[in-house]
Structure 1
Amino acid sequence: MSTPKISVRDVQKVFPVGKEPFVALGGVSLDIADNEFVTVVGPSGCGKSTLLNILAGLEQPTGGAALVDGKPVTGPGPERGVIFQQYALFPWLTVRENVEFGMRTAKVPKGERRERAEHFIRLVGLEQFADALPKTLSGGMKQRCAIARAYAVNPSILLMDEPFGALDALTRVRLQEQLLETWSKERRTVMFITHDVDEAVFLANRVVVMAARPGRIAEVIDVDLPYPRDEDMRLSPEFGALRNRVWHAVYHQRQIKEPAK
């Protein structure tokens, strides 16, 4: 049996909050295969972003282990690209320069750097804006630039924390389709955090539903819908049935009762 690309083993995370500790993650275990697209959905406070930050190496677990290719995550690494809701582009750099930035830091030769940047700029449909500054771009275009920058450093894993959360509904739908088109051409292992049930089902091979207090996995739901996916897919009975199942798993959770003291 092959080693999972990402493996989370009984991960716990406790934050000190005043006199009482806050249990953000209460023992999470999950395997994600190479090139799998997994979405994570759940109510606020269920630890979705905390789990992503641990896999990114930005937080350390209080207990348990997070592994990538069988090796413990001890900090950030070039094999893991992270995309947040905030675009995090350098405002003084053009689209091309932003996409090249990570490769420049990694000392990729100039010719290769330019070639790879142009490839991913075309892939996300920004070739006409390669010399534009971020202030001239729409929110969706900025996020596409961030995705191109993440892909350009050739990570094997993309960790995405609600990257479309601040966008209007139409732009969000278009970027979901754009992301799947890019993923189909440039496969990566993707863990995608969202609050949106439709988005979770539309993108994923599997939907991980989390619950809060403490943060834990409530259910993992297979999405047996074929790729490529489009607007017609969203209107299908199969999509509706999966959406309803995920919705019910998210919004009809029973709280785990604290033991009597």
Structure 2
Amino acid sequence: MTTTTSAKISVQEVRKTFPLKNEEFVALDGVSLDIADNEFVTVVGPSGCGKSTLMNILAGLETPTSGRALVDGKDVVGPGPERGVIFQQYALFPWLTVRKNVEFGLKVAGLGASERRERADYFIRIVGLEQFADALPKMLSGGMKQRCAIARAYAVNPSILLMDEPFGALDALTRVTLQEQLLDTWSREKRTVLFITHDVDEAVFLANRVVVMAARPGRIYDVIDVDLPYPRTEEARLSPEFAQLRNRVWHSVYHQAPGIAAGR
């Protein structure tokens, strides 16, 4: 089914429940959200608020109990090549080099060897792994593995990137570095991005908009515009404007009135 909409991603009154012993667990309840083409949206909230469930529905890995999830006006009915998914776990093939990992989706899509090599090398260069193109994943640090996963996702040319805490397992310095590199890649190779995180600073630093979710049941609590200019640097993190936005998001995440959305 197709619906006319200008949004790249549209979530319409989505409810998702799971059976739990003799009752049902409500993971999402009445979630609605539109994301524009090439917009970078981060989603933050307490554990159990349904962030990953929402992403899995958009990835086509889960189906809503009710409501609709649409991409380009069409209902999401399963995984699709227009949506690249990056998880916290790197999910690289350990027996393949960085280049072969990045080429994998292109090979499945039927591209010839020379075109695969050209596209893979381009995105390997963009994420700064040229010197490690022929290395196996076991030779890479955690940050390098995640950069390889990002290059692989970009290489198949999805219009949407769905990222579920991709930097969550990394140390603080590597995490900050990869945030800046991700924004640099996004500025050159625009995509619509939905980025799940637990980190308030990360949510503010990356996004055009921050979506704050609340738990029990999972719902949207607040949506906060981030009007900081790109490119964003360390100076932006130290600015009064960043601190003000961070404090607003922090307050929305950790001072929620149960069952009530902000502004309602």
Alpha-carbon offset, residue 2 of structure 1: 6.3
Partner of 1:158: 161
Amino acid of the structure 2 residue aligned with 1:46: C
Alpha-carbon offset, residue 109 of structure 1: 1.5
CA displacement 1:158-179 (0-9 Å, x = unmatched): 0000000000000000000000
The unaligned stretches of length 5 or more in structure 2 are none
Partner of 1:209: 212
Provide the TM-score with structure 1 as the length reference.
0.97
CA distance in 2, matches of 1:2, 1:249: 29
Amino acid of the structure 2 residue aligned with 1:104: K
Alignment of 1:184-195 (within 5 A): 184-195=187-198
Aligned with residue 101 of structure 1, among 98, 104, 120: 104
Alpha-carbon offset, residue 108 of structure 1: 1.1
The unaligned stretches of length 5 or more in structure 1 are none
Amino acid of the structure 2 residue aligned with 1:154: N
CA displacement 1:9-48 (0-9 Å, x = unmatched): 0001000010010000011000000000000000000000
Alignment of 1:33-182 (within 5 A): 33-182=36-185
Partner of 2:234: 231
CA contact (8 A) 2:164 2:197 kept: yes
Tell me which moved more, 1-10 or 108-117.
1-10
Question: Identical aligned pairs, as a percentage?
Answer: 81
Alpha-carbon offset, residue 111 of structure 1: 1.1
CA distance in 2, matches of 1:242, 1:58: 33
CA displacement 1:115-148 (0-9 Å, x = unmatched): 0000000000000000000000000000000000
Alpha-carbon offset, residue 110 of structure 1: 1.3
Provide the TM-score with structure 2 as the length reference.
0.96
